[in-house]
Structure 1
Amino acid sequence: MTILVTGARGNIGGRLVSLLAEGGHRVRGSARDAATLRLPEGVETAELDLTDPHGAERALRDVETMFLYPTRGDLGPLLKIAHGTGVRYVVLLSSPAAYDAGEYDQPIGLVHREAERAVEESGLPYTVLYPSWLASNTRRDWAEQIRSLGRVGVAHPEAQVNPIHLDDVAEVAAHLLTDDRHRGRMQVLTGPRSMRLRDVVTVLGDVLGRSITLDELTEEQAIEQRAPWMPEAILRTLLAVTALGVGVLAPVTNNVERITGHPAREFAEWARTHRADFE
């Protein structure tokens, strides 16, 4: 039987495809445009729009378990087809935004809650993954400033987060898709420790071998300096949630180790692997 990984171009989906293929599993990776996929040799590709699943039967043929990437729109029709074609289990990637104070009733949280609702109503057995603050957020939000200026602007630098290595998220998903021992309704995944945003910047500097100047921003300054792709309303929500983390330890769980058999990786390990992105 086949494992379908939707969002196979993504940071987590792409790594998950590789892990499953390395483990000898039959894997199919999907994207809206299959021509954009660059997957390991032997991995099948499929064209699939999660919210307009015309022709989804082909992508779902012989699929037993499925990794579902969250997206805006109605996943119900796709999941109905999945149920009818014999899919037996789904892993849904979600976010603590679906339940955290300040986010669950805001746009990001609502998208994730709608995806969770669709999976629950599908009748398919499932597990929802809630990874903590993704280590790759540093690359998305800070890399350009660090490369070009050697400094980074951060609002609420005393706020605490728990960076999780994306490989740990992918490994947990791979275990759940291939082994039924930990298939609870949800798994909250975190890195090994709570860190201030200020300390995350320090670790990046240590990995790069140079000091990175941290400029503390007000929320309004952060809004003024936001990247063009970031909607103001979304950033305001993220800043409000970040403010709630000032002086408050971020949650820590042992679920990565419990499921994969190894401790959650340190943020520094992710930073060393992706050092070139900041140089």
Structure 2
Amino acid sequence: MTILITGARGRVGQAVIYRLHSAGISVRAASANPAELTVPAGVEVAELGLNRPETFEAVLRGVRQVFLYPEPDGIDAFIKTAEAAGVEHVVLLSSSSVLDPGAETDPLASHSLKVEQALASSDLTCTFLRPDAFASNALGWAYFIGQNLPIQLAYPDADITPIHSEDLADIAVEALSGGSLKGRSITLTGAQSLTFREQLAVLSEVLERDILVVKITHAEAEQQMSQYMPAPMAASLLALWSAASARPAAIADTTQTLLGKPARSFQQWARENAAAFTQR
């Protein structure tokens, strides 16, 4: 039985590949640029563009399970090809945002929701992993911290529950290789809620230097963010953070509740990634 890992260049995809391969499970790592993949010896690599149906048939040949990154463009063709190839189970790396009101029209949530809906209408057994914020989102501050610049935030007290990518990989592997999570829809978080201000305090402690946090207006933040992402996406993120400032973040399922092992903390993530925040 071969398991196809899409998004094999990503942190989660890479971690899933290494875990499955170490367990002696046949893995095929797929990417739009397979020549750029770094995988363990013995892992097959293949070309896959999730919005390019002409790449589907070859990459799905002999595959029984898929770890899938969400891409609505091409999902219907992917499902049709997967069913014809004999795929039995898909584990989708979705998002907790699909549960929010208005997810159907939200530019962030709808991306994953469309894929969930297409898979749910198929004959495939599906497991939906819905992580909340990733701890690695903090890397967005790396340049500013490395240059000793202030972190400008419209909602510094937005409360979230960042999940470590290694925790997500552990859960994905259980969904692919075990039976306890198969067919479920699971909202995933870290074990601790932290505001952006508190995350920056953790980074400050780990890096042993002060990090200045400056509160800016919603409009100022939207203007800044629109320089490097589509304006609707920036507006969606700011709306999410505004709402998260009004209530404490809820803790959902973690590696502790699902696997019986303690969740990795944001503090651990910060120590592991401290080098990314040094001056360049």
What is the TM-score normalised by the length of structure 1?
A: 0.94
Partner SS for 2:29: strand
Report what 2:37 is aligned to.
37
Tell me, yes or no, if structure 1 residue 271 matches structure 2 residue 270: yes
Report what 2:99 is aligned to.
99
Counterpart of 1:58, as a letter, is: A
Partner SS for 1:191: coil
Report what 1:249 is aligned to.
248
In the alignment, is the contact (CA less than 8 A) between 1:74 and 1:118 conserved in 2? no
In the alignment, is the contact (CA less than 8 A) between 2:206 and 2:274 conserved in 1? yes
Tell me, yes or no, if structure 1 residue 145 matches structure 2 residue 144: yes
1:100 and 1:256 map into 2 onto residues whose CA distance is 23
2:276 and 2:102 map into 1 onto residues whose CA distance is 31
2:81 and 2:209 map into 1 onto residues whose CA distance is 53
Counterpart of 2:27, as a letter, is: V
Counterpart of 2:68, as a letter, is: L
Report what 1:136 is aligned to.
136
Report what 1:112 is aligned to.
112
CA distances 1:81-135 after superposition (whole Å, capped 9, x unpaired)? 1111111111001112212236552111111111111111221001101111101
Residues 101 and 145 (structure 1), Cα distance of their counterparts in 2 relative to 1, 3 Å cut? farther
Report what 2:231 is aligned to.
232
2:216 and 2:104 map into 1 onto residues whose CA distance is 25
CA distances 1:220-262 after superposition (whole Å, capped 9, x unpaired)? 1212322733122211111011101114111102442233331
Partner SS for 1:207: helix
How much does 1:35 deviate?
Answer: 1.4
Report what 2:17 is aligned to.
17
Counterpart of 1:225, as a letter, is: Q
Partner SS for 2:121: helix
Mean Cα deviation higher: 32-41 or 80-89: 32-41
In the alignment, is the contact (CA less than 8 A) between 2:226 and 2:234 conserved in 1? no
Partner SS for 2:54: coil
How much does 1:34 deviate?
Answer: 1.4
Report what 2:198 is aligned to.
199
1:8 and 1:227 map into 2 onto residues whose CA distance is 28
Partner SS for 2:200: helix
In the alignment, is the contact (CA less than 8 A) between 1:102 and 1:237 conserved in 2? no
Which structure 2 segments of 5+ residues have no match? none
Report what 2:220 is aligned to.
221
Counterpart of 1:165, as a letter, is: H
What is the CA RMSD across the aligned residues, in angstroms? 1.6
Identity of aligned residues (%): 36
In the alignment, is the contact (CA less than 8 A) between 1:64 and 1:86 conserved in 2? yes
Residues 30 and 104 (structure 1), Cα distance of their counterparts in 2 relative to 1, 3 Å cut? same
Which structure 1 segments of 5+ residues have no match? none
1:254 and 1:55 map into 2 onto residues whose CA distance is 35
Counterpart of 2:87, as a letter, is: V
Show structure 1 runs of 4+ deviating over 3 A.
101-104
What is the TM-score normalised by the length of structure 2?
A: 0.94
Counterpart of 1:201, as a letter, is: L
Mean Cα deviation higher: 214-223 or 54-63: 54-63
Counterpart of 1:202, as a letter, is: A
Report what 1:262 is aligned to.
261
1:2 and 1:202 map into 2 onto residues whose CA distance is 44
2:19 and 2:77 map into 1 onto residues whose CA distance is 29
Partner SS for 1:50: coil
In the alignment, is the contact (CA less than 8 A) between 1:162 and 1:192 conserved in 2? yes
2:274 and 2:189 map into 1 onto residues whose CA distance is 22
Paired residues in the alignment total 278
In the alignment, is the contact (CA less than 8 A) between 1:103 and 1:241 conserved in 2? no
